[in-house]
Structure 1
């Protein structure tokens, strides 16, 4: 294993220490450790992780440019190390040994990690090849491991215009149709495998069997016509070179690789492989078909299974895999409403990850942040506020502080504490570089919901900030909400507080935070909805009945919920399918259909309603709802 005169520890272990320093709020120390070994590929990979995370947090041009330069340099180093000419010389002249094969496997994983940020198709192929070889080694020497099978590259791409299958529409590849392990099952299986290795009396070694085909199974494939150098495929010479190996043992057939190294490398590649699958599986159905054309295949469950396995490793990717799982279970699942209003589905897994990471990352502001998210999903808003405030105090990066304060504001919003929520969002409007219009809008609706006319003085300033927002889909969302706001502060004073509260409730629904309000909060929302006296109290037609329907859904009163959704749709039956507020109709029809398909006697009607949601177009959160519809229809 690679070491340096500066330290007797292997560099993959030093890189893990560097990542731990980074996650425990010691960014400067982490960077100094990585840069202490400038010639180490593993330590430079750790440095690239650090710069990439810093860039994602801040999104500042100089940090983004630095991260891209670092990733490009990392890939260049990997390419020099894993080049086709070097591989060819090893195979022909017999200069390959165990360490060079280990280095090659590790280098390929690092190369895929570096490409994952910008050259996705290339990264996917490297992950595929490396993962396939390592899982084969594990099965041959250590035993079966219930991880996903490597997804084969399609022999022929999907024909443009061809109707995608239900599996494709849901980001699911039939080739992955194998039960994946839960968090605890993965850990138990891995520990049993480790135990079997430790009990073995014979040396922990394995002959690494390599293909004698010139298409090296561990190479990086690049699409460059007949000269696919990365894949070590030169069509003009393939046949004579294959003849060179014919009838002979490969010079690497007798290489010995210990079990622990196989497990370490498999866990390392499982991080990027799993994260890649998870990300692709979250794309809307229209994009899933497009990426399948380019050779991607992904499953959400298998992505989670790979990340769960990766987090048990010893290198720098293990804590990053833990963070990825926490991100998925506490942020992605509730935001995309993958489990509907059952936002607590991933809480147990997240709690287990946090519990196991507590000693190692006791001072980490990021882990404190995710602990707060778990508390919020459990409707323990008091404890969530404590966690987010501690995360804000301990964080050394400005962006993590802002992220924690964002959650503080939302916790106040979930409590329907409009005054405190407004104060936090006003602060964020000034502190944030990228979401000032969004926070200005949140401050405006909280100001109106508090019904304190004496504080309407800065209404015009906030409205101006919303107008100046820039941000693609979020910008469109804000422009549509601006149409619901009165022209000026004087006009705003004439509106009843419930008008603004309905806009707050809409935000709670769209960000799937309404279920966190708890029974008391839901009762208060229903009481506010019952105070609506006429159309002038509603910012959007049918919004009151839609919100009431969601409250009944959360309270498990399905009959009342269905009646409210039907009233909402009836109120909006003359509205255009592409109206600015068409999302009210689309989501009401989905929620009604979702309720109806749960019972056999109304299943057909519910299915029909779900299929007809496609009539609406160009509405807010359309992609997210489309994913939910296809996921629901797939299981009918």
Structure 2
């Protein structure tokens, strides 16, 4: 095929270059990542894909039109050539002969048949990766229908390639066959984490042929596994996507495939698989200590990765280790020197840490820096709302001239209709504009939520007492009483005072029909009640409350609640079986 790449590439230098390029992506050194594979990208399909992936990462961090067009153009050109190659190397259905109906017949030997099959698998995996990359670009630019079409194509390519590899006597041997399972009912948690925290050793004696097999099969197993698990976890609001793709998910198989991909080494996906499965087990299985050990180990293996610093900084924040979190965000800023857009994100996250602990004067300039300079739509609406809160706390009515245009931007420019936090921020910004002020209760509720998220429970309790005093001093709406009950119950749940937390949440649920604005607090109260019942091993009540929650709709953060419902349903099912 004219303009095609070499398939059957058995030059070890190509695959070593791809491995080195992948490490540079972890370090957010994208120019170096591209330079490493530049020597091979015009000849090797695998190397050209590695370049495309670096362009995808650039767009994900910069979010500029130029970066989008560059990455999309690269993928589209690559796809055009790969489709022709895929057709050219498609093997006959049986080992016989092929040829023109009118011309002479060309005999295909067993060796040629095997070569065609190998090349065909390589092009299938490449086409799947290309469609997956294009889907990610489209999703990030909010083109969801086009992205769904691309995901469907990616899945079909992965499936066809997987079926061929399963029948391939040689390539099938690369996939681990032992009994280590990564499913939700796994009893081999230690074995799973042993595989993740300590990477599989690399056999330095592998030939170019062996390296090629690991490159292709590793990408296939990771792509298929992550696809399976991600689709299985979609909330109800996105089930249309599953139906459009024509996909029946298998969560356990997805987890197992991602675990297998961690052990196909060297492969450009082995470290991504470790990070992906570690993240899944952190968020959905609550295996916090092991997940943090994994990220710390991966930080040792890479040179100053800002992405890994950002990941562990987020974990530290969730655990209430705000100082450690802030230190890692500062490191991420330092290490991302070649990607100013990522530095802005690191500073924004650092600003959020200051926001959580009430250091408004430190939070404000970092959030403002992000809002003024970042090209990404992420965090803009909620960040604008947070900056307005900072201004109000610091300056009061003197800040009105700064807050009004800022909040108008939140409502008219930055709010994305499908984003829960954006809608929540815009609602409160509009309320501020209507009243030219935040109420004393509103600021107290912001502080309480922040302190409880930062696990500064004593400070949160002090603010709750102030709210209690204000509510007792004069009549207030059910909405304000409901917010008080939620944050009180949330604090009791966090400090493991389970009985009192359940009583408080139940009192809140009784107010559901009277609450006008913040109905999300009832959904969150029920989520946390389910978590308590699971801890108390009362799975029948946990299921009853969860079933009640599933019937609710039309509140802020509904998509986030859907994900947590999935997680809790899995927990209940897992514990019930045990």
Deviation per residue, 1:211-249 (Å, 9 max, x gap): xxxxxxxxxxxxxxxxxxxxxxxxxxxxxxxxxxxxxxx
Asked if structure 1 preserves the Cα contact closer than 8 Å seen for 2:222 and 2:273, the reply is yes
CA distance in 2, matches of 1:193, 1:51: 28
1:408 aligns with 2:350: yes
CA distance in 1, matches of 2:193, 2:281: 17
Partner of 2:229: 278
Across the two proteins, how many residue pairs are aligned to each other? 528
Asked if structure 1 preserves the Cα contact closer than 8 Å seen for 2:14 and 2:37, the reply is no
Q: Which runs of 5+ in 1 are unaligned?
A: 150-175, 206-256, 340-344
CA distance in 2, matches of 1:459, 1:192: 50
1:145-544 to 2 correspondences below 5 Å? 145-146=178-179, 179=186, 182=189, 184-185=191-192, 188=195, 263-288=214-239, 291-292=242-243, 294-300=245-251, 302-312=253-263, 313-325=265-277, 328=280, 333=283, 338=284, 345-395=286-336, 396-433=338-375, 434=377, 435-449=379-393, 455=399, 458-468=402-412, 469-474=414-419, 475-485=422-432, 487=434, 489=436, 491-492=437-438, 495-496=439-440, 498-506=441-449, 514-533=452-471, 534=474, 540-544=480-484
SS in 2 for 1:471: coil
Query: For residues 628 and 143 of structure 1, do their structure 2 counterparts lie closer, same or farther at Cα, with a shift above 3 Å needed?
Result: closer
Query: For residues 392 and 304 of structure 1, do their structure 2 counterparts lie closer, same or farther at Cα, with a shift above 3 Å needed?
Result: farther
- The answer to which of 185-194 and 124-133 deviates more is 185-194
Asked if structure 1 preserves the Cα contact closer than 8 Å seen for 2:227 and 2:254, the reply is yes
Q: Which runs of 5+ in 2 are unaligned?
A: 98-106, 136-149
TM-score by length of 2: 0.78
1:610 aligns with 2:553: no
> Which one of the candidate residues 624, 628, 636 is aligned to 2:560?
624
Asked if structure 2 preserves the Cα contact closer than 8 Å seen for 1:281 and 1:298, the reply is yes
TM-score by length of 1: 0.72
Asked if structure 2 preserves the Cα contact closer than 8 Å seen for 1:51 and 1:67, the reply is yes
Asked if structure 2 preserves the Cα contact closer than 8 Å seen for 1:415 and 1:517, the reply is no
CA drift of 1:374 comes to 2.9
1:49-198 to 2 correspondences below 5 Å? 49-83=53-87, 86-88=90-92, 92=97, 93-95=107-109, 96=112, 100-116=116-132, 117-118=134-135, 119-135=150-166, 137=169, 144-146=177-179, 179=186, 182=189, 184-185=191-192, 188=195
CA distance in 1, matches of 2:13, 2:165: 20
Deviation per residue, 1:441-475 (Å, 9 max, x gap): 01122344557565555232332222223311334
CA drift of 1:186 comes to 7.1
SS in 1 for 2:91: helix
Partner of 1:583: 520
Asked if structure 2 preserves the Cα contact closer than 8 Å seen for 1:187 and 1:309, the reply is no
CA distance in 1, matches of 2:316, 2:64: 31
Query: For residues 148 and 113 of structure 1, do their structure 2 counterparts lie closer, same or farther at Cα, with a shift above 3 Å needed?
Result: farther
Partner of 2:504: 564
- The answer to which of 68-77 and 49-58 deviates more is 68-77
Partner of 1:46: 50
- The answer to which of 46-55 and 607-616 deviates more is 607-616
Asked if structure 2 preserves the Cα contact closer than 8 Å seen for 1:111 and 1:123, the reply is yes
CA RMSD of aligned residues (A): 4.0
CA drift of 1:132 comes to 4.0
CA drift of 1:293 comes to 6.5
CA distance in 2, matches of 1:427, 1:263: 44
1:553 aligns with 2:493: yes
CA distance in 1, matches of 2:367, 2:477: 24
Partner of 2:143: none
CA distance in 1, matches of 2:44, 2:86: 15
Asked if structure 2 preserves the Cα contact closer than 8 Å seen for 1:135 and 1:266, the reply is no
Asked if structure 2 preserves the Cα contact closer than 8 Å seen for 1:445 and 1:504, the reply is no
CA distance in 2, matches of 1:391, 1:194: 28
Query: For residues 139 and 62 of structure 1, do their structure 2 counterparts lie closer, same or farther at Cα, with a shift above 3 Å needed?
Result: closer
Asked if structure 1 preserves the Cα contact closer than 8 Å seen for 2:344 and 2:369, the reply is no
